[in-house]
Amino acid sequence: MARDLLGKILVRESADGIVAIRLTEVEAYLGIDDPACHTFRGRRTSRTETMWGEAGRAYIYLIYGIHHCLNAVTVGEGVPEAVLIRGGEPLTGGRQIRLRRGLKVSRRNLLDGPGKLCQAMALTRDEDRIDLCDPATGLTIRSDGHDITNERVERLPRVGIDYADEAAAWPLRMMVR
């Protein structure tokens, strides 16, 4: 599913207008057998409850007490796997993105991390559990037919999970070259 999300469009509709971002970097988390996953060994908490539910839901958590991170739950009831949305390119709503991220941030660094992406989209824990497939929610992942060829997809180790030992090296981060 992580590979399939590359090239899709994340759309946020709010009172400030519409922001749309083409997804260029994602990272897979494989549930109870993945030492880097929040649900490793069946861990189930109020924070991770969304991962245990329906596929297509937004799982948003706060990291380091300051950055929100957006994941798409991928499998469904009882199988807590998700894809972290790590980066993208702005398509619509550049003004809102710049206001939220800071006017002096370079285009290269505008959406190159999960915390930056959530800041640009004005996403917080309030959007946790939103159905990413339902346009009425104001937060959706859509396809416009844009295809990313396999030759353009780079598979890399995941980032920021040194505690996960060998699982940190698994090539589950995917990025469009």
Domain containing residue 88: CATH number: 3.10.300.10
Give the CA count within 13 Å in the CB-facing half-sphere of 124: 4
The pLDDT value given to residue 104: 81
Least confidently predicted of 36-50, 66-80, 100-114, 134-148: 100-114
Does the pLDDT value for residue 117 go beyond 80? yes
The pLDDT value given to residue 108: 76
Give how many domains the chain has, as a whole number: 1
pLDDT band with cut points at 50, 70 and 90 for residue 50: very high
Structural domain contains residue 146: yes
Structural domain contains residue 176: no
Does the pLDDT value for residue 107 go beyond 90? no
Mean pLDDT, residues 76-86: 97
Mean predicted lDDT score pLDDT of the chain: 95
What's the token pair of residue 21? Answer: 């971002």
Does the pLDDT value for residue 106 go beyond 90? no
Whole domain around residue 108: which residue ranges? 2-165
Distance CA 143, CA 103 (A): 29
DSSP per-residue string spanning 36-64? TSTTGGG---TTTGGGGS-TTBEEEEEET
Do residues 51 and 82 touch, judged by C-beta distance below 8 A? yes
Closest alpha carbon to 140 in 85, 76, 97, 103: 85
Structural domain contains residue 175: no
